[in-house]
Amino acid sequence: MLTPKSTRRAHTVRRVLTVLMGVVIALVAVPTAAMAAPAAPTPTIPGLPGVPVPDFLKPLLPAPPAPQATPEPAPAPAPPAEPAPPVPTKTGWVALADDASKMLTVWHNGKVVRTMPISMGSNDHPTPNGTYFTKEKYRDMYMDSSTYGVPVDSPGGYRTYVEYAIRMSWDGIFLHAAPWSVAQQGKTNVSHGCINVSTENGKWAFENFPTGTPIVVRGTVGGQYVQGS
Residues with catalytic function? 176, 194
Side-chain half-sphere exposure of 209, counting CA atoms within 13 A? 33
Q: Rounded to whole angstroms, how far apart are CA atoms 153 and 49?
A: 102
Write the CA distances from 189 to 95, 102, 165, 196, integer angstroms.
18, 8, 18, 9
- Contact (Cβ atoms closer than 8 angstroms) between residue 190 and residue 182: no
Residue 189's φ and ψ, nearest 5 degrees, are -100, 125
- Contact (Cβ atoms closer than 8 angstroms) between residue 100 and residue 189: no
Strands 174-177 and 159-167: antiparallel
Provide the residue count of the chain. 229
β-sheet with 137-144: strand ranges across? 137-144, 159-167, 174-177, 195-197
